[in-house]
Amino acid sequence: MPDGFKSDYIANYLGGESTDNDIYVDNLSSLSGSTKKSISFYNDPKFKDDLLSTKARIVILKKNDVDLRKGASIIVDDPYLAFAKLSNLFYQSHKSTLIHENASIFTNAKLGVNLYVGAFAVIGSKVSVGDNVYIGANSVIGDNVKIGKDSIIHPNVTIESNVEIGNCCEILAGARIGTSGFGFAREIEGNWLKIPQVGKVIIGNNVDIGANTTIDRGALDNTIIHDGVKIDNLVQIGHNCEIGENTIIAGCAGIAGSTKIGKNCMIGGAAMIKGHITIADDTIISGGTGIGKNVENPGKRFTNVFPYNLEHKDWLRISKNLKKMGKKND
Amino acid sequence: MPDGFKSDYIANYLGGESTDNDIYVDNLSSLSGSTKKSISFYNDPKFKDDLLSTKARIVILKKNDVDLRKGASIIVDDPYLAFAKLSNLFYQSHKSTLIHENASIFTNAKLGVNLYVGAFAVIGSKVSVGDNVYIGANSVIGDNVKIGKDSIIHPNVTIESNVEIGNCCEILAGARIGTSGFGFAREIEGNWLKIPQVGKVIIGNNVDIGANTTIDRGALDNTIIHDGVKIDNLVQIGHNCEIGENTIIAGCAGIAGSTKIGKNCMIGGAAMIKGHITIADDTIISGGTGIGKNVENPGKRFTNVFPYNLEHKDWLRISKNLKKMGKKND
Amino acid sequence: MPDGFKSDYIANYLGGESTDNDIYVDNLSSLSGSTKKSISFYNDPKFKDDLLSTKARIVILKKNDVDLRKGASIIVDDPYLAFAKLSNLFYQSHKSTLIHENASIFTNAKLGVNLYVGAFAVIGSKVSVGDNVYIGANSVIGDNVKIGKDSIIHPNVTIESNVEIGNCCEILAGARIGTSGFGFAREIEGNWLKIPQVGKVIIGNNVDIGANTTIDRGALDNTIIHDGVKIDNLVQIGHNCEIGENTIIAGCAGIAGSTKIGKNCMIGGAAMIKGHITIADDTIISGGTGIGKNVENPGKRFTNVFPYNLEHKDWLRISKNLKKMGKKND
């Protein structure tokens, strides 16, 4: 695998035009954080000073801006999007291929080629791992897990048994996939009896899962995360949930068990979604907002956090009045 | 340990009646996810098609439904509860007994019999572990920790030093027990001085703790989790908290330090409970609800999240009006 | 390193007065949890019985209280603050110095003296670690990470590559620092394209970071946590955030990307702060409160959680009325 790329190769990859050929770069960076082997981008006049002083060897920019730049450039229509597209190119090229001698891999695991398995990673019995997969140090992959090709599991992740993960997924450090769902039946004596959690978690392709996020396995049926779903850090997804294609969920959100969320939804940070409900496609839920009922019509937006900052003294007045609201003798 | 069980043994265990003897099964599953060695259950007419097409060797069902079934059945009063009861039976039988050669165990640790200790697990100095305990791969058990018999610690868990865990507990992946409490005193210069956190966490019997949940050790006294408490994923429990018997806490809830919660409470997901307060027995706190004062009378229910979904445009109108609420010149 | 200290050394360290010299203690404890080698403190008459019955060899107390005590005492103005100050003294003395034979350390790592590196810890390429640093078992330190002297990394932590951590920091179990920020651009087809996250996380001196907390690396610029910041458990800090000196953030709070928080702010548990805003110095945000706009003037307090407990039936009445609020035909 190459360590970097030349300007003409990159221009061709992006469908852009290179001002200079044979300029070699090996890392992506901001204009200000660049080194002599960086490629960066310029999109916004507020970074003009950074453009003029950058060490970056190549800058991706718009045709209009090419005169601002002294060094090599690649000209494209949307420099930011172009830069984003380079991410995969560079990431793939930088991944090392190594199965660390201290990894613990069950002998019956089926492993693809070009793998990285970090130190003290554990791969259980009957696991299947596709080509070009990265499994970080100290991660634990349970028995019978399937991981598709080109997926990245960061360090200290737990994938419990029987979970299925598609291609091109990225699972950040400390995520827990396939943990036992929170299901208990109350016995007459008042104590709680655990309900067997024997379902799976099925994750599609191109799914991203954030750091320390938890996704429970289904009780009897499966928890399903469809293709293209993006989940941020510290999100909780309960057992038997289903998350539709390309839905995006920001950090600290919680989705209680057995809830089905449609495609292309946008769920803000710290949003709370009740269990056993259905949310239509294209729903937008603002950060911090609670959803307690089905959302039947697609494309609606829901909010219940204040659109202004509430000073403590004002809230004391408002909340005092709220307490009396609707009282008969009021 | 057996890999599975026969129909008559299971019927006897459940206090039910078996239609066929000597039918062997080795796993619990849903009707639709079953294999030829599965036992499943039928409880609800909406799964009738699944019942008719299931591969399950044995189905647990009610007397009224026995005619729907072609194969072996076990007849009980409450198929769901019966299925739940099988969980322990099957789980215990499937646990392997092994101390992985790559685990790091302090020589003075006192270990019971029938243990599983996974690869790269760490067991510190003067640790005591009861019989039949499972410690997952890459988990770290600090010095002087006590773990009762029949408890399960999943992978990638941290139990800090001096924590005590009872019998039959289950701690899911990534939980952190006994981490340093968040206690700082402000110095005149404005910076924060750490207060020593030298208390313990004491966990009773039959306690479940969710994935990536955190429970801080006491500052001077102990954090106490009583028997039968069930805690879901991503819950934070501050230092010196005390949680009463059989209280259940759903995902993403946070309980600030020094708060005492009674027995048999039900705390919804993402509920937020202030520090230094007391909550009476049998209190119900709805998901997302904040509790900022003592709850003195048992058995009450508290809620402050909307019982309907609030559309963005309606909330803009409401919140605009709320801002003016109670103003004198209004 | 010594295991403990004598009374005259401790009195001198605290600027206090010892009633007896040559009394040796080796641990900090509460009055009730003490052993014959403990030092404890007495500050509050409600613990008078504990004072009379304590096993502690030395008690730190005020001049007025010295007659209550039969054994050795150290007299100071503020016993609680004095006790807090002993924390560092004792902690430093108890840290063992050991590089575990099963740690995996890249040969080009630059390691200081007096280190502890636990079992199955991983230290990547070109890492620099200062003197007296503690790295817990199963923690993973990525390539090019810098850790200053006297810092403590608890077990099962992930520090992703290129992160910089100052001196005297403490990072609790399961924290994830430098994880990839949540940045995606939507493509015409509806799927999300990952934006390269090539910035760093830069952490100053005397910073505390809680268990299972996540701090994302910057997209292009850096995420910056300034000196003296204290962050509790299960907090999410998005990419490109900047947290000012001595700001304190309680558990379960979430700060979305690119937000800048001033110095000396106090942010309550489960507070939610929107992305791309600026919060002035000395701001106080109550627990559970959402902040969605810039806070321009320093020293203000914001709240939007109820200052009383709302019973379910009262909330049903209030929320029903709220729904109609401001409607024209109302």
Residue scoring higher pLDDT (C269 or A94): C269
CA atoms of B223 and B212, how far apart (whole Å)? 18
CB A56 within 8 Å of CB A24: no
Q: What is the pLDDT of residue B80?
A: 87
User: Is pTM beyond 0.90 here?
Assistant: yes
Q: What is the pLDDT of residue C4?
A: 87
Write the residue in C80, C252, C288 that is nearest to B236 by C-beta.
Answer: C252
Poorest-pLDDT segment among A211-215, B144-148, C20-24 = C20-24
Q: What is the pLDDT of residue C195?
A: 87
Residue scoring higher pLDDT (C112 or C89): C112
Q: What is the pLDDT of residue B92?
A: 61
Domain check: are C327 and C209 in the same one?
yes
Write the residue in A170, A305, A315 that is nearest to C292 by C-beta.
Answer: A305
Domain check: are A81 and A172 in the same one?
no
User: Domain containing C35 — which CATH number?
Assistant: 3.40.1390.10
Q: What is the pLDDT of residues C168-190, one digit of tens each?
A: 999 999 999 999 999 998 887 88
Set of chain A residues whose Cβ sits within 8 Å of the Cβ of B252 = 236, 252, 254, 272
CA atoms of A260 and A258, how far apart (whole Å)? 7
Domain check: are C178 and C34 in the same one?
no
Question: Any chain C CB within 8 A of the CB of A292?
Answer: no
Domain check: are A25 and A170 in the same one?
no
Residue B225 lies in a domain: yes
Residue B142 lies in a domain: no
- Sign of the CA dihedral C208, C211, C212, C213? negative
**Whether pLDDT at B260 is above 90:** yes
Write the residue in A28, A251, A252 that is nearest to C198 by C-beta.
Answer: A28
Could you list the active site residues of C?
A: 239
CB B250 within 8 Å of CB B232: yes
Instruction: Report the mean per-residue pLDDT for chain A.
Output: 93
Instruction: Report the mean per-residue pLDDT for chain C.
Output: 93
Q: What is chain B's alpha carbon radius of gyration, rounded to the nearest angstrom?
A: 25
Contact C303 A311 (CB under 8 A): yes
**Whether pLDDT at C329 is above 70:** no
Domain check: are A184 and A294 in the same one?
yes
**C183: nearest Cα among A148, A15, A29, A210:** A210
Q: ipTM value, please give it.
A: 0.90
Q: What is the pLDDT of residue C1?
A: 38
Q: Which residues, numbered 187 to 216 in chain A, qualify as contacts with chain B under a Cβ-Cβ cut-off of 8 Å?
A: 190-196, 198-199, 212, 214, 216
> Which of C236, C248, C252, C284 to mutate to test binding with chain B, by most B CBs within 10 Å of its CB?
C252
Residue A135 lies in a domain: no
Question: Any chain A CB within 8 A of the CB of C92?
Answer: no
Instruction: Report the mean per-residue pLDDT for chain B.
Output: 93
Contact C172 B192 (CB under 8 A): no
Residue scoring higher pLDDT (A88 or A199): A199
**Whether pLDDT at A46 is above 90:** no
* Structural domain range at position B200: 157-330
- Of B78, B94, B110, the domain-final residue: B94
- A29 pLDDT band, cuts 50/70/90, is confident
Set of chain B residues whose Cβ sits within 8 Å of the Cβ of C138 = 120, 122, 138, 140, 156
Poorest-pLDDT segment among B193-197, B252-256, C326-330 = C326-330
- Residue A258 sits at the vertex; the CA angle it makes with A257 and A259, to the nearest 5 degrees, is 95
Residue C182 lies in a domain: yes
Chains with at least 3 CB pairs less than 8 angstroms from chain B: A, C
Contact B315 A304 (CB under 8 A): yes
Average pLDDT over residues C260-273: 98
Poorest-pLDDT segment among B182-191, B236-245, C165-174 = B182-191
Contact B30 A199 (CB under 8 A): yes
Q: How many domains does chain B have?
A: 2
Domain check: are C89 and C199 in the same one?
no
Q: What is the pLDDT of residue A92?
A: 61
> Which of A252, A311, A323 to mutate to test binding with chain C, by most C CBs within 10 Å of its CB?
A252
Q: Which residues, numbered 30 to 49 in chain A, qualify as contacts with chain B under a Cβ-Cβ cut-off of 8 Å?
A: none
Write the residue in A191, A212, A290 that is nearest to B305 by C-beta.
Answer: A290
Q: What is the pLDDT of residues C125-157, one digit of tens each?
A: 999 999 999 999 999 999 999 999 999 999 999
For chain B, give the percent of residues with pLDDT over 90. 83
**Whether pLDDT at C2 is above 60:** no
Q: What is the pLDDT of residue A1?
A: 38
Domain check: are B41 and B188 in the same one?
no
Q: Which residue of A has its CA nearest to C253?
A: A252
Domain check: are C186 and C271 in the same one?
yes
Residue C99 lies in a domain: no
Strand order in the sheet with C17-18: C17-18, C72-75, C58-61, C38-41, C27-28
CA atoms of B2 and A149, how far apart (whole Å)? 37
Q: What is the pLDDT of residue B1?
A: 38
Write the residue in C102, C307, C320 that is nearest to A319 by C-beta.
Answer: C307
Residue C176 lies in a domain: yes
- Of C59, C94, C129, the domain-final residue: C94
Q: What is the pLDDT of residues B291-318, one digit of tens each?
A: 999 999 999 999 999 999 999 999 999 9
Average pLDDT over residues A104-132: 96
Write the residue in B256, B303, B314 that is nearest to C269 by C-beta.
Answer: B256
Residue A220 lies in a domain: yes
User: Domain containing B174 — which CATH number?
Assistant: 2.160.10.10
Contact A326 C306 (CB under 8 A): no
Set of chain B residues whose Cβ sits within 8 Å of the Cβ of C316 = 303, 307
Could you list the active site residues of B?
A: 239
Set of chain A residues whose Cβ sits within 8 Å of the Cβ of C295 = 309
Domain check: are B191 and B283 in the same one?
yes
Domain check: are B195 and B289 in the same one?
yes
Q: What is the pLDDT of residues A217-257, one digit of tens each?
A: 999 889 999 999 999 999 999 999 999 999 999 999 999 99
Residue A119 lies in a domain: no
Domain check: are B183 and B36 in the same one?
no
First-to-last C-alpha distance (Å) of chain B: 76
CB A43 within 8 Å of CB A80: yes
> Which of B25, B85, B312 to mutate to test binding with chain A, by most A CBs within 10 Å of its CB?
B312
CA atoms of A51 and A56, how far apart (whole Å)? 9
**Whether pLDDT at B250 is above 60:** yes
Domain check: are B85 and B221 in the same one?
no
Q: Which residues, numbered 97 to 156 in chain A, qualify as contacts with chain C under a Cβ-Cβ cut-off of 8 Å?
A: 100, 102, 118-120, 136-138, 154-156
CB B204 within 8 Å of CB B146: no
- Of C94, C112, C146, the domain-final residue: C94
Q: Which residue of A has its CA nearest to B212?
A: A212
Q: What is the pLDDT of residue B309?
A: 96
